[in-house]
Structure 1
Amino acid sequence: MHSDPRSPIGIIDSGMGGISIRTALVRAMPHEETIYWADTAHCPYGGKARKEIVQLVRAGVETLLTEGVKIIVVACNTATTAAIATLREEWPEMPFVGLEPAVKPAAETTRSGIIGVLGTEFTVRSEMFRTTARRYASGVRVIPVAGNGLVEAVEQGLEEAPETERLLRGYIEPLLAAGADRLVLACTHFPLLAPQIERIIDGRDMRLIDPAEAIARHTREILAASGLLYEPNGVTTEAPIHHFISTGGAEAAERLRLRAEQYAARLRKR
């Protein structure tokens, strides 16, 4: 663990999905630098075995450690579910921030008593998810849905494709018919599909639950508590540097950078 507040924040994802978390981190901590590691060559993770996911995520951690990061945000629900316990055991001095499906805020705010959870196959079938649902959603009906094909659509830039809309409708319409009024986005790729999801639920009583801002706040709190939050004294004109690394090579890394800029610009317009 690096003790210099100027050290960057490390971010891990299987591909594009962590962009949603990264954007929230940058907005919450505008002076911090980031290094985003994406395992584009092996994306998606949702259908892989736990052992393989752990090995892949471990490689990402090792890369970020060589870059001198001070904290690592595992910006992927599937990677968190499969690997976070192993990472904390193997690198006890490094703070890791993981994700779990945002069942708690959904359960606390639902009026119908029914919530949907849209995640990868690995996440919604995991013991971690079942434990989270039991802990935070007592008395609430939780309907998990594996959004197969959606991660691939985001990775390929097919958010607006008719087939992607058909997939989304196939997952969301049954939840609406069942009376769900909250939809937990339990994969960080899925906020990149928010405009399409919002068109499908337009005029109906359903609200999206995206954990990105809560993760950013939690990360900021950890850094502040450990004296690692970088907040320059006075006015500074020095812009933070944000790096992107992809196992798919330089071209894939550049695609990540461009998509991150586009996503941030879209949120600024909302």
Structure 2
Amino acid sequence: MSDAAYDDRPLLVLDSGIGGLTVLREARVLMPERRFVYVVDDAAFPYGNWEEPALRERLVDLFGELIAIHDPIACLIACNTASTLALEALRAAYPQMTFVGTVPAIKPAAERTRSGLVSVLATPGTVKRQYTRDLIEQWATKCEVTLVGSVSLAALAETYMRHGSVEESAVSAEIAPCFVEKDGRRTDIVVLACTHYPFVVNRMRKMAPWPVDWLDPAEAIARRALSILPRIASDAPVGRHDDVAVFTSGRADAVTRRLMQGFGLATEGGILPA
């Protein structure tokens, strides 16, 4: 006899591109019984080019449509930009739905640093948002935090994942401001505050002027989702052949489809017109 009722509704994971796959990968390890719907809001990529009110309105409207179509058990926003901008509005618009957001891992960085010099590598939108500065004020007042807004790194990660190579000098230029030397101390932790960035972290390690701890929050985000979802019965079926990738543009090229299939996501039947 099972110890809990099995709820087969999927966990919906959204990002503007492929970055959220880093979170999906960790969520699957922790929740092998779950079904997943991975939403690529490629019609709006990159989020950093949007004005904040317009992007917030888009996300609220989009989630309304996604919730109606897919009936998820919860929604995981695997994107710092979208979370810091729209999480409060989404919870207000859909109070019966559970939303899990992604925010810069500033608290654990402040707890781990030895030099007291921490950098936050993010999109320009995340860097300028008051939410990020409030996290620093709350958790990192004893540290010196450098905010680095990368214009191109998310796109470089997309290129790397689709084509298997990336111009290393371009990666080096994007991460260079993260490395600070002051009074004999050096930056020792870089917070990866965009879910795209872990895909190119090996390139970043290679181009870094000295070793640092690259803080990837994907596992912590997945653990947060696990902690707030209902328990799954011990006899629930394990397998994810029903997992799908949804593209808000209504189209995906062959390379992107192969990438999604490599993550065990079907693309046929998973298209949502923009």
Superposed pair shares fold, TM > 0.5: yes
**Matched residues, number:** 254
1:70 paired residue number: 73
Q: What does 1:123-142 align with in structure 2 at a 5 Å threshold? A: 123-142=126-145
1:209 paired residue number: 215
Letter in 1 for 2:242: I
- What SS does structure 2 have at the residue aligned with 1:161? coil
2:268 paired residue number: none
Q: 2:192 aligned to 185, 190, 195, which one?
A: 185
Give 1:238 shift. 4.8
Q: In 2, Cα distance between the equivalents of 1:107 and 1:263?
A: 36
Alignment check: 8 A CA contact 1:182 1:209 kept: yes
Give 1:251 shift. 2.3
Q: In 2, Cα distance between the equivalents of 1:195 and 1:261?
A: 20
Structure 1 unaligned residues grouped into runs of 5+: 265-270
Q: In 2, Cα distance between the equivalents of 1:7 and 1:194?
A: 33
Alignment check: 8 A CA contact 1:244 1:257 kept: no
Q: How many percent of aligned residue pairs carry the same amino acid?
A: 30
Name the TM-score, length of structure 1 as normaliser. 0.86
Change beyond 3 A, Cα 1:48–1:207: same
1:268 paired residue number: none
1:246 paired residue number: 247
2:37 paired residue number: 35
Which structure is higher in helix share?
Answer: 1
Give 1:113 shift. 0.3
Q: What does 1:57-96 align with in structure 2 at a 5 Å threshold? A: 57-65=59-67, 66-96=69-99
Q: What does 1:1-270 align with in structure 2 at a 5 Å threshold? A: 5-65=7-67, 66-156=69-159, 157=162, 160-162=165-167, 165-178=168-181, 179-201=186-208, 204-223=210-229, 228-233=230-235, 236=237, 238-252=239-253, 255=256, 258-259=259-260, 261=262
The CA RMSD over aligned residues, in Å, is: 2.4
Name the TM-score, length of structure 2 as normaliser. 0.85
- What SS does structure 2 have at the residue aligned with 1:31? coil
Deviations 1:178-208 (A, max 9, x none): 3211010001111111121121238x33010
- What SS does structure 2 have at the residue aligned with 1:130? helix
After superposing the two structures, state which structure 1 stretch, 247-256 or 108-117, moved more: 247-256
Change beyond 3 A, Cα 1:173–1:251: closer
Structure 2 unaligned residues grouped into runs of 5+: 266-274
Change beyond 3 A, Cα 1:220–1:256: farther
- What SS does structure 2 have at the residue aligned with 1:46? helix
Q: In 1, Cα distance between the equivalents of 2:115 and 2:92?
A: 40
Alignment check: 8 A CA contact 1:73 1:98 kept: yes
